[in-house]
Structure 1
Amino acid sequence: MDIQQLIDHGYAIKVYPKDTLIYEPGMVPRYVYFIKSGEVRMVTVSEDGKEFIQGIFKMGQYFGEPALIINRKYLAYTIANKESEIIQVGRKQFFDLIETTPGFSINLIQTLSNRLFYKSMMLEELANEKAEHRLLTIINYLLNDIEVGDSLKVTRQDLADMTGLRVETVIREIKILSDKGLIEVNRGKIIRPNKK
């Protein structure tokens, strides 16, 4: 779904300042959130306050639809990583979009499938004790979404939160992976290399 189409159909844009909570566990879903600009992270928080990143959503993407589709309360927090412009689409309007917008239902299936694949992959990785293997898997997964020569736009802290590792471990393992030639690092940034 093109964000401009939503704007053209009269949907309002709401601005969420950096670090604003959009929704939290236990809330009843009322909207699907389409990102016009900015970035949002979805996290679960452990009892000791450690965040585990479930996903990061960027401009042109949307989130919140699984809970809305099955009418279940949210299980995670969503927080604006930076100031974000977001369009809220209510339940009825969202189902209308699925029925009336060519290609949107296929896009929705692909989006949900990607998220399911990511969750399955991460469950398998969290069961793996080896930090190097965990980190390499998530880096390779993230590299698939960028162009050759571009760098990952995630911090070492993000990688730690995604893998359940400590930041110090991530920093050490990135150096090891780079030294082994398993990843390419340029000026501290992990980049997608040319395929050999």
Structure 2
Amino acid sequence: MMTIQKLIDKGLKVKNYPKDSIIYEPGMHPRYVYFIKSGEVRMVTVSDEGKEFIQGVFKTGQYFGEPALLIGRPYLAFTISNIDSQLIAVNQEDFFNLIKHEPDFSMELIQTLSRRLFYKSMMLEELANEKADHRLLTIINYLLNDIATGENLKVTRQELADMTGLRVETVIRGVKMLAERGLIKMVKGKIIKQGK
């Protein structure tokens, strides 16, 4: 993974974004790819009624905004800092230089874009499924893949609702039902990754 320190060593500046800051919004022309030195950022679309649908959550060491920059199309979603965050904005020229001159980064970029495409395809299929418990189990299992056995899933019921298009109450009932059926493990109200 492209280290943040390498970007700082190249002279790129770190900028602070307080919690709930909008980094970019739909329709804006892309100028940067944002690398997260610290913090967490959510990418959301917002319905006409004001309901958020989470497209993705990006954490320390990750980056976002590259698809729009790569193809020169406007951003389609809001990106908002979930907590106080420090970001490094990498302009198009510097980002393309990273791709050209850092083979490890180029391969990691391909893998990152592939994971995101897989996630989007999975969610499209799940959103077409009317069964809330199936939708919920699919996103929980997907998120559990990124953590170690015995760790708890660090996502709120509201975030699960925003990711699946369900109501919070439905998520609460669904999580309880999935645990009762033994499909997920719960300890002290937290979803835990089980060993295989």
TM-score, normalised to structure 2, is: 0.99
Partner residue in 1 for 2:52: 51
Q: Residues of 1 paired with 2:189 and 2:52: CA distance? A: 24
Counterpart check, 1:96 vs 2:97: yes
Q: Residues of 2 paired with 1:30 and 1:108: CA distance? A: 18
Partner residue in 2 for 1:22: 23
Deviation string for 1:32-85 (max 9, x for gaps)?
A: 000000000000000100000000000000000000000000000000000000
Q: CA deviation at 1:101?
A: 1.2
The residue type equivalent to 2:82 in the other structure is N
Q: Residues of 1 paired with 2:5 and 2:195: CA distance? A: 34
Partner residue in 2 for 1:113: 114
Partner residue in 2 for 1:7: 8
Structure 1: state its 5+ residue gaps: none
Q: Residues of 2 paired with 1:19 and 1:151: CA distance? A: 25
Q: Residues of 2 paired with 1:138 and 1:175: CA distance? A: 15
Helix, strand or coil at the partner of 1:103: helix
Q: Identical aligned pairs, as a percentage?
A: 72
- Report the number of matched residues: 195
Q: Residues of 1 paired with 2:192 and 2:86: CA distance? A: 28
Helix, strand or coil at the partner of 2:82: strand
Q: Residues of 1 paired with 2:11 and 2:193: CA distance? A: 39
Deviation string for 1:125-156 (max 9, x for gaps)?
A: 00000000000000000000000011111100
Q: Residues of 2 paired with 1:151 and 1:95: CA distance? A: 37
User: 1:39-78, aligned counterparts within 5 Å?
Assistant: 39-78=40-79
Helix, strand or coil at the partner of 2:39: strand
The residue type equivalent to 2:170 in the other structure is T
TM-score, normalised to structure 1, is: 0.99
Q: CA deviation at 1:102?
A: 2.8
Structure 2: state its 5+ residue gaps: none
Q: Residues of 2 paired with 1:28 and 1:94: CA distance? A: 16
User: 1:135-174, aligned counterparts within 5 Å?
Assistant: 135-174=136-175
Q: Residues of 2 paired with 1:102 and 1:15: CA distance? A: 29
Partner residue in 1 for 2:192: 191
Q: Residues of 2 paired with 1:36 and 1:191: CA distance? A: 27
Q: Residues of 2 paired with 1:152 and 1:8: CA distance? A: 34
Q: CA deviation at 1:194?
A: 1.1
Helix, strand or coil at the partner of 2:103: coil
**RMSD between superposed Cα atoms in Å:** 0.5
Q: Residues of 2 paired with 1:176 and 1:186: CA distance? A: 14
